[in-house]
Amino acid sequence: MLDESTELSVSITQIVHRLKGTHLHSQLEKHAKECMHKPEIKLETLKDDVRRLLKESGWERKLQNAVYRELHILPPPGHPRAPPEHAKEPLEYMHKAQVSWEKRILKSLNSMCTELGIPLARKRPVSEQKELTNKWNEMGTDEPDLSKFRPVYAPKDFLEVLIGLRNLNNDRSEDLTVRSNWGLIQVSLNIRDIPQMRETYPELGLTYGQLGIDDHTHVPPDLFESEHILVGKKVLSEQDSAAAQQYSRQGCPTGLRAQLWTLILNTTDDPEVITHYEQLKARVIHHGLLVDNLIYKDVKLTASNDDYYFVFEDYLYQVLLCFSRDTAVLEHFNYNSATPPKSCVQSKSGSEQCAVVYPPNGVIPFHGFSMYVAPLCFLYNEPSKLYSVFREMYIRYFFRLHSISSHPSGIVSLCLQFERLLQTHLPQLFYHLREIGAQPLRIAFKWIVRAFSGYLSTDQLLLLWDRILGYGSLEIVAVLAAAVFAFRAENLMEVTSPASAEAVLADLSTLKVMPLLQIFLFATSV
Amino acid sequence: MRWLVSDMSKNKQTAGHKGAYTSQRKKEGEVRSCIRYRCGLTNTIQDVLNQRPGWVEVKDEGDWDFNWCDVGWLRENFDHSYMEEHVRICHFRNHYELTRKNLMVKNLKRYRKNLEREAGRLEATKCDFFPRTFELPSEYHIFVEEFKRSPGSTWIMKPVARSQGKGIFLFRKLKDIIEWRKDGTRSEEQRDEAQVESYVAQRYIENPYLIAGRKFDLRVYVLVTSYIPLKAWLYRDGFARFSNTRFSLNSIDDQYVHLTNVAVQKTAPDYDPEKGCKWQMQQLRCYLTAKHGFETVQTLFKEIDNIFIRSLLSVQKTIINDKHCFELYGYDILLDQDLKPWIIEVNASPSLTASSQEDYDLKYRLLDDTLHIVDMEGRLTGKEKRVGGFDLMWNDGPVYTDVGLEAMGCSCLVANTHLGCVNDRQKQLQQLLKPFPGQKRT
């Protein structure tokens, strides 16, 4: 075990290494040099003076924000002798399950490719490139024949894999006892109970003001809302990323949310960001990928059919097609339990084969993937900005929803937590649903995998995602799923078939997220 | 109630009473427990009336207390009907002063002129929410002058009395309409009609506010229960109707791009009925606030209120006021890129047919609350500022909320309108209304 100070210096080294060579680094150097020409600089106190000037001009804050961002995506500290896989996923059985799942997905993709006779990647002829460039802003008008494409997998396929997870070191009996898991997840992970969560999420408590509760029409604004908005404006003027994250725990005002999220995620308007996006766009124009069709199909089936997101169809293509080609995303596999899939590419002469990551960003989209992007269209309409925000959210949080790992924000932990909360606090309901063959996770899984996107109304979803960003964790998604069941418990107790249970929980568009969370966390007796 | 030649003086309001509600009670000594209604439409309103406790449908020649009629019926029968004091009907006799495109513009222009004379130019600019419009053929020559003054501009031609987007087209060159006048692509029937029919030529708004590249307009509901004094209510719900295709000025022949009526969109070749093309007003307001900030959107909605109020004031003295009449208008509003709202038109018979379950629920709520305000059952005091999803917008003067004064700590007055805001009508109605006669309070 490393001691704290060694761990710290390792982290510092890693972060410095990552920030070297970035646009921020060159800007800092440039400004430091400019500071040198200022009259108040003295040679004896050069270092301190330059530091002070950088602080006053806001550059120190920018650096702080950048470091803060790096801390979010730093791989967890590990033993110096541990192989890199252990950093990604310390539990062997989880790792194995993820590997075998990846094999399955890739096999499915390859067989689709062979069946349909479509190459995984191809260079577009010039005429097609031209056409695509012209139509870039309205790709939704295209009506390609997508009937032969099927999604590589859907959330319910993934659920079956999770249900099959077993830890051979800890084989539990299948008997239904108080100690056993009544639900579908049959592995034990360290998840938190309500008393522990009350300590983690104090800002959601009954004595704190919340957006989503205390901005209700009947509450006079000067009790909380007006003050909160003023604080939000101050946070924005200070451009403090950490403060913005803390602030977001009580919700972001609609008019300030877009800026607050970019501050929390530290996505800047630097020219390198825009250039990067343009490069990705160019790659889309030059080469077509098989996954492009999967993306089209997904958007057409999900977001385009949604009452609120149908308008943003074109943006979704612009983001997701570029996302598939963004090799910078590969970085996140350092801390993702998954490994990017590789496909064999035949060289031109036909003699050599080499394995390349496919798709280039290593992420194979599944049915519903576009819903991670759709709510963001509500906040951002410049493609490069929308893109950077989505990418950052993906590599910080969303990837955990579809890879098998033991991480507390990973899908397995979230599912287990959901079931545990239900079993502990609504045992009668859980038992009843089990008896009629309606395992709660089968209904809640699709909500959790999408972090509720497409199930809640947009304004409620954004309030939920405020807290995901604010607490840097997806745990709240599992809690909300349990809270929804608690809210509809009365009706659910009366159903007698899985289909009617689904029907009771089919429409979540009228739910108010924050009261549900607050009541479940702080008003449930423990 | 018999068909008699009416004496309009009988319909004059007696001095001092607060409206039909209390006088109805006074006169008959008891609350009317059974309300006979007539309904000329077979859509959502039919359900609402049917399901209202104590309301009974009468057909054909029977006496009625309440009539939800179409404008055709009104035109033929209103003048020959005698209505007792408590009776209510859903249109004003000459509503077309507001709802026919040429008359609306005529009234607005006259109102604006008077305002300029009385209150100065600045005040008059508050009426600049309608694009330059000319009635054809009568104003053809001044139209041509204006047309020539703005070369390259796009204009839209609309028949004054048709709805659902019929007969509308865009043009950029005078020769386009000269051809149209002669014969062009219109059918025989259209040509005959056009001889008696008027059109308006209006400056087309070339820079509409777009969301994800698509044009949309707003449908907002305003209920007027009296013109003199003017009493108008604004409904919190409404919707934005999107055009199914991306906006571009390149093809002005493609009416699917430019016209956002659901009726027109339904005929577009790529129309998918499964795909909604509407956003609830709350969604739109949320979106705009996220994009432009709270204050900007607050100002925008204030300007939209201004459109309703001034358009109603412009016809206040022209419309024949009648205490039996109320009217639910559907306003069509367009936003431009500078977030300035424009009036497109006002409908006296906004579509009550639902295009989806969500749409049905909205229209059901709207009509239910309309009936609450008309208050045949006599449950209101007449002093309410809010009934269900309706907020009292104008009551012979601007109406302000009560919350604004105390909470703000300053003397700034906050208007009592909440378009696109939370519509927690169930709760409000429970607190406000006594149960229906014969119903227990839940």
The interface pTM score, or ipTM, of the predicted complex is 0.78
Write down the H helix ranges in A223-301: 225-238, 241-248, 257-265, 271-286, 290-301
Can you tell me the mean pLDDT for B97-126? Answer: 92
Q: Which residue has the tokens 């995506």?
A: A73
Crossing angle for the helix pair A241-248 and A225-238, to the nearest 10 degrees: 160
Helix (H, G, I), strand (E, B) or coil at A40: coil
A220–B289 CB contact, under 8 Å? no
- The pLDDT of residue A135 is 86
Can you tell me the mean pLDDT for B271-300? Answer: 83
| Distance, first Cα to last Cα, chain A | 36
A311–B242 CB contact, under 8 Å? yes
Q: State both tokens at B401.
A: 């909320």
Q: How far is CA B157 from CA B106, B152, B177, B268, in A?
A: 16, 16, 9, 20
Q: Does A33 have pLDDT greater than 50?
A: yes
Q: How far is CA B383 from CA B231, B264, B368, B387, in A?
A: 12, 41, 19, 10
Q: How far is CA A276 from CA A281, A326, A385, A396, in A?
A: 9, 9, 11, 19
pLDDT tens-place string over residues A401-450: 999 999 999 999 999 999 999 999 999 999 999 999 999 999 999 999 99
Asked which of A229-243, B67-81, B299-313, B317-331 is least confident by mean pLDDT, the reply is B67-81
A313–B421 CB contact, under 8 Å? no
- The pLDDT of residue A202 is 92
Mean pLDDT: which of A35-44, A266-275, B12-21 is highest?
A: A266-275
Q: How far is it, in rounded angstroms, from Cα A234 to Cα A251?
A: 15
- The pLDDT of residue B403 is 60
Q: Say yes or no: A253 contacts chain B, CB-CB below 8 A.
A: yes
pLDDT tens-place string over residues B201-229: 999 998 999 998 888 999 999 999 999 99
Asked which of A335-349, A485-499, B372-386 is least confident by mean pLDDT, the reply is A335-349
Number of helices and strands in chain A (H, E):
24, 4
A255–B213 CB contact, under 8 Å? no
B213–A137 CB contact, under 8 Å? yes
Q: Does B410 have pLDDT greater than 60?
A: no
C-alpha triplet A451, A250, A392: angle, nearest 5°: 45
Q: Does B370 have pLDDT greater than 60?
A: yes
> C-alpha A440: how far from its chain's center?
23
Residue B5: band (very low, low, confident or very high) from pLDDT cuts 50, 70, 90 = very low
Burial class (CB in 10 A: 0-12, 13-18, 19+), B156: buried
Q: State both tokens at B183.
A: 């014969």
Nearest residue to B159 via CA among B175, B176, B137? B137
Q: How many A/B residue pairs have CB atoms within 8 Å?
A: 73
- Average pLDDT, whole number, for chain A? 89
Asked which of A516-525, B27-36, B59-68, B182-191 is least confident by mean pLDDT, the reply is B182-191
Q: How far is it, in rounded angstroms, from Cα B344 to Cα B144?
A: 21
Residue that wins the pLDDT comparison between A81 and A444? A444
- Contact between residue B352 and residue B368 where contact means Cβ atoms under 8 Å apart: no
- CA–CA min distance A67, chain B (Å): 28
Q: Say yes or no: B288 contacts chain A, CB-CB below 8 A.
A: no
B165: left (phi over 0), alpha (psi -120 to 50) or beta: left
- CA–CA min distance A308, chain B (Å): 6
- Of the partner residues A138, A216, A222, the one whose CB lies closest to the CB of residue B246: A138
Asked which of A236-240, B10-14, B37-41 is least confident by mean pLDDT, the reply is B10-14
Can you tell me the mean pLDDT for A267-283? Answer: 91
Nearest residue to A412 via CA among A101, A47, A143? A101
- Of the partner residues A141, A217, A379, the one whose CB lies closest to the CB of residue B424: A217
Asked which of A476-490, B157-171, B305-319 is least confident by mean pLDDT, the reply is B157-171
- CA–CA min distance A180, chain B (Å): 43
- The pLDDT of residue B269 is 53
Q: Say yes or no: B277 contacts chain A, CB-CB below 8 A.
A: yes
Contacts of A257 in chain B (CB under 8 A): 290
**A262, A311, A456: best to mutate for the B interface, most B CBs within 10 A:** A311
- The pLDDT of residue B1 is 29
Helix (H, G, I), strand (E, B) or coil at A406: coil
- Of the partner residues A220, A314, A379, the one whose CB lies closest to the CB of residue B213: A314
> The pTM is what?
0.83
Q: Say yes or no: A507 contacts chain B, CB-CB below 8 A.
A: no
Residue that wins the pLDDT comparison between A102 and B60? A102
Q: Does B58 have pLDDT greater than 60?
A: yes
Q: Which of residues 326-345 of A touch B (CB under 8 A)?
A: none
A247: left (phi over 0), alpha (psi -120 to 50) or beta: alpha
Contacts of B419 in chain A (CB under 8 A): none
Q: Say yes or no: B403 contacts chain A, CB-CB below 8 A.
A: yes
- Average pLDDT, whole number, for chain B? 81
Crossing angle for the helix pair A155-163 and A411-425, to the nearest 10 degrees: 70
Q: Does B257 have pLDDT greater than 90?
A: no
- The pLDDT of residue B319 is 94
